[in-house]
């Protein structure tokens, strides 16, 4: 069964460093998303991507964040200068059309 | 008011019991509704979509009430393996651009 894959599964970084989280969505899906979940808290929407551009983003997704789909298969989330409060599990998801999300297993980011 | 609200629980029920969760949403333009299940430290996984006419999948029944803007999930004959957090998910518009998660309801099934 096709699945969304994410790398790395866990990354530890120093505050102020840049981080890139990578995702390979399911190949025939059209919408791509990043969500994050701080430990013990709710799943929060960050950004959605459709037709090679951002279609919607939340207030969390500030100038420190960016997304790219550089080669038609990978979908990356970059955090330019990490803060302590960026520590969270970051989930990539894709969906073929309206609403049914398929999630990757997540990338745990720890900022020290 | 939060866009999607759920009772956080925890619900602690014996095996075999029937348990029901509700979820309310604030935006009347919401179009698509889902229940996801999330196990501890794992990714959310789709449990079922929620249709206007209500739908059933084995022991699980989902209902949508557009007039009152809530959806519900009923679990019959609960199993130990049903212990998880259940996430109410709402898509605000007919497009898939923004999909909002509730905070989740924790369910614990005891033997």
pLDDT tens over chain B, length 111 residues: 788 999 888 899 999 999 999 999 998 888 889 999 999 888 999 999 998 888 999 999 999 999 999 999 999 999 999 999 999 999 876 556 678 899 999 999 999
B95 and A55 in contact by Cβ < 8 A?
yes
pLDDT at A28: 87
Residue A112 scores a pLDDT above 80: yes
Contacts of A1 (CB under 8 A, 6+ apart): none
Q: State pLDDT tens for residues A24-37.
A: 999 888 889 999 99
Please, what is the average pLDDT of chain A? 92
pLDDT at B62: 96
User: Using CB atoms, which residue from B46, B94, B104 is nearest to A42?
Assistant: B104
User: pLDDT confidence of A95, banded at 50, 70, 90?
Assistant: confident
The predicted model gives A48-71 an average pLDDT of 91
- How far, rounded to the nearest angstrom, does the alpha carbon of residue A51 sit from its chain's CA centroid? 17
User: Using CB atoms, which residue from A50, A89, A103 is nearest to B97?
Assistant: A50
Count chain A–chain B contacts defined by CB atoms under 8 A: 65
Residue A38 near residue B82 (C-beta atoms within 8 A):
no
CB-based burial label for B54 (10 Å; 0-12, 13-18, 19+): middle
Contacts of B95 (CB under 8 A, 6+ apart): A55, A98
B95 and A44 in contact by Cβ < 8 A?
no
A98 and B89 in contact by Cβ < 8 A?
no
């Amino acid at each position: 069964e096709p699945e969304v894959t994410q790398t790395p599964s866990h990354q530890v970084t120093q505050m102020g460093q840049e981080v890139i989280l990578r995702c390979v969505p399911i190949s025939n899906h059209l919408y791509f998303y990043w969500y994050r979940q701080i430990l013990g808290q709710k799943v929060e929407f960050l950004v959605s991507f459709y037709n090679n551009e951002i279609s919607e983003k939340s207030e969390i997704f500030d100038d420190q964040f960016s997304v790219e789909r550089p080669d038609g298969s990978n979908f990356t989330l970059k955090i330019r200068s990490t803060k302590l409060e960026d520590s969270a599990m970051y989930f990539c998801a894709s969906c073929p059309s309206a609403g049914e999300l398929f999630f990757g297993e997540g990338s745990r980011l720890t900022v020290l | 008011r939060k866009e999607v609200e759920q009772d956080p629980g925890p619900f602690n029920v014996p095996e075999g019991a029937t348990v029901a969760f509700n979820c309310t949403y604030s935006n009347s333009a919401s179009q698509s509704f889902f229940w996801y299940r999330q196990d501890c430290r794992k990714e959310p996984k789709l449990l079922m979509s929620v249709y206007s006419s209500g739908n059933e999948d084995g022991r699980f029944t989902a209902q949508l009430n557009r007039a009152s803007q809530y959806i519900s999930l009923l679990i019959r004959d609960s199993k130990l393996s049903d212990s998880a957090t259940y996430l109410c998910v709402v898509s605000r518009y007919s497009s898939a651009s923004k999909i909002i998660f509730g905070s989740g309801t924790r369910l614990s099934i005891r033997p």
